Amino acid sequence: MARIKIPRSLQVAIFHRDHWHCRYCLEPVFFNPTLKLLEQMSPGHGYYHAHSKSGAKLSLFQRRFATADHIVPVANGGENSAENLVTACWECNLDKRDRNPNEFTIRDVPAIVVAVNWDGLSSIYAKLPGAKQEWIGIIRNHQCQ
């Protein structure tokens, strides 16, 4: 059975709900489409690599781009629902793999982190050349909530 992709709008909703912080390590995460556009504007600076090739991205962006991670892995029957998804940095997502929730700590985002109002660089996405209208609409929709 083919894996069903997490809809983009749901991914961004999860990132906003979690205040653009990994729920495992609590580090801030980055909106990968923004990193992609930054790389197109300034090639070779290491903002983005299509396959996240090790060493092709700056270490900060390699390890800390936002992913929507299944709490209960799809391999174990987990669904693409807001209740079963958390924001995870790429590093934690790789580390967790298909382990069950009882094997990995999901943390609440502290109020002090929420107060910072970090947005993963999503707010600059629409201002960059090559921004896709679909992403712009999704981001704006969640900024208004």
Phi and psi at residue 97, to the nearest 5°: 50, -125
Residue 66, beta-bridge partner list:
89
Residue 55: alpha-carbon gap to chain centroid: 20
What's the one-letter identity of residue 103? E
pLDDT digit string, tens, across residues 68-104: 999 998 888 889 999 999 999 999 999 988 777 888 8
Q: 3-state class of 86 per DSSP?
A: strand
R_g of the chain, CA atoms, integer Å: 15
Residue 21, beta-bridge partner list:
28
pLDDT digit string, tens, across residues 8-64: 999 999 999 999 999 999 999 999 999 999 999 999 888 988 877 767 788 888 889
